[in-house]
Amino acid sequence: MPSFKKEIQLAKTWYDKWRKRKTYSPALKSNVRISLKAWNHLVGNQGHKKRSFKDKYRRMKLLKYAEQIITTSTTVQNITVKHGIKYYALEAMIEVNISKNQKEFRKVRVIIYEDKKGDKIFYSVMDKRQK
């Protein structure tokens, strides 16, 4: 298994490439910008929620699924407004690679927010084990 630092570097390289591609959401009927703010949120950089190594690692592994959910989901699961900012949740049951030889179905949730100009911006990805 690659080291944690190596995994973060691989995820950052992939994320930077994703930021350069157009990401269209059929559910939101608009393009979704992939921002540096989301990266900082996911890895718990300064000014964002601190995250454990385990949480950071898990979220890095979910990034490719986040892109898949944004580009294929046709339904918004939830809309919330916090401090005047609208957040959209997209969800999907995804078979996630847990380890080299193990896969498990998880509910993966992607959070996208809308800025003051109405642009949709990727913010977070998380998963939940099914019982």
The pLDDT tens digits for 40-90 are: 888 877 666 778 878 888 888 899 899 999 999 999 999 999 999 999 999
Which tokens belong to 81?
A: 């407004």
CA distance 20 to 57: 23
Exposed, middle or buried, 2 (CB in 10 Å: 0-12/13-18/19+)? exposed
What pLDDT is attached to residue 7? Answer: 81
- 92, 106 contact by CB (below 8 A): no
- What domain range includes position 54? 4-129
CA distance 55 to 22: 27
Mean pLDDT, rounded, for 23-41: 95
| pLDDT score of 47 | 66
Specify the number of domains making up the chain: 1
